[in-house]
């Protein structure tokens, strides 16, 4: 129990059986149990998440308490220079750590690009700029998709009715990964309007299946394809993730997709010369 007057972070419950937790379940569930157990023993605010994650030793970086980030030093620059990830006691940083464990090469590539962009700008400015903004979107909210080409065509066109109607059977052949740790955090308490940024880079269908632990099979393929010039153009397309078959019982009803506040039609094309 916490001592009187002290506030100790309470580790929330997570539905590890949810479809979107598949890539994170094997390691994440075991680690989260350790976090909850450590939290129940804490008598004062402590760096529980960082301590548990570091003890696991499953990542190419060190997880350290947030207090180890020096004042005035950018978070991304600190990771790049030291290999240490400042970590708070919250879900956001816990899921960030799971991505480091399963996508180490991709996370290193993103961190390198962030650190280089910060250095080129002479530090963290009032605005991120196109590249850093795109990298932040990737890190926080990207969804990776391996799917048949007809699904990709409908997704890019935001043709929601075909995507989740006539083409619905093809979703059985699709694989998705909620790479963005903020995206996965939102899904702990899911709601209809959660929208991911799908990376417009179709993953080959012949990549090995995910064993659930160790580096994800997509990691080594993805990391070397992340170029600064391409990412600065924000190569993403939106996807309201609760529309994915199997992710929400309500989407079995076709009327679920009639909500244009969530499943928004494509923007009208601009007139030539506009």
Average pLDDT of the chain is 92
Q: Stretch 164-179: mean pLDDT, rounded? A: 98
Tokens representing residue 121 in the block: 């700008």
Q: Do residues 20 and 178 lie in contact, with contact meaning Cβ atoms separated by under 8 Å?
A: yes
Contacts of residue 214, Cβ cutoff 8 Å, sequence gap at least 6: 102
Structure confidence by residue, pLDDT tens digits, 74-104: 999 999 999 999 999 999 999 999 999 999 9
Between CA 182 and CA 130 the distance in angstroms is 20
Range in 29-43, 163-177, 200-214, 219-233 with the lowest mean pLDDT: 29-43
pLDDT at 40: 82
pLDDT above 80 (res 7)? no
Query: Could you give the CA distance from residue 18 to residue 29 in angstroms, rounded to a whole number?
Result: 12
Domain boundaries of the chain, sorted by first residue = 19-131, 136-258
Neighbours of 160 (CB within 10 A): 22
pLDDT score at 220 = 97
The residue among 274 and 61 whose pLDDT is bigger is 61
272: pLDDT confidence band, cut at 50, 70 and 90?
A: low
121 has a pLDDT exceeding 60: yes
């Amino acid at each position: 129990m916490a001592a009187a007057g002290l506030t100790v972070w309470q580790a929330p419950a997570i539905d590890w059986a949810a479809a979107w937790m598949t890539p994170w379940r094997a390691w994440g569930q075991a680690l989260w149990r350790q976090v909850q157990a450590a939290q129940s023993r804490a008598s004062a605010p402590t760096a529980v998440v960082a301590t548990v994650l570091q003890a696991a030793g499953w990542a190419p970086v060190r997880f350290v308490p947030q207090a180890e980030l020096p004042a005035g030093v950018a978070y991304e620059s600190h990771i790049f220079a030291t290999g240490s990830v400042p970590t708070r006691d919250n879900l956001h940083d816990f899921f960030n750590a799971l991505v480091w464990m399963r996508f180490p090469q991709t996370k290193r590539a993103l961190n390198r690009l962030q650190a280089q962009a910060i250095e080129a700008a002479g530090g963290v400015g009032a605005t991120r700029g196109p590249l850093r903004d795109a990298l932040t979107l990737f890190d926080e909210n990207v969804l990776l998709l391996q799917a048949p080409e007809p699904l990709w065509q409908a997704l890019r066109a935001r043709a929601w009715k075909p995507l989740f109607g006539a083409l619905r059977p093809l979703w059985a052949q699709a694989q998705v990964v909620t790479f963005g740790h903020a995206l996965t955090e939102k899904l702990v308490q899911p709601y209809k309007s959660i929208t991911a940024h799908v990376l417009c880079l179709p993953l080959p269908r012949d990549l090995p299946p995910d064993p659930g632990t160790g580096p994800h099979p997509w990691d080594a393929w993805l990391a070397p394809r992340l170029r600064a010039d391409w990412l600065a153009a924000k190569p993403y397309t939106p996807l309201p993730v609760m529309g994915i078959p199997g992710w929400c019982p309500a989407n079995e009803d076709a009327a679920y997709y009639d909500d244009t506040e969530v499943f928004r039609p494509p923007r009208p094309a601009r007139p030539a010369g506009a």
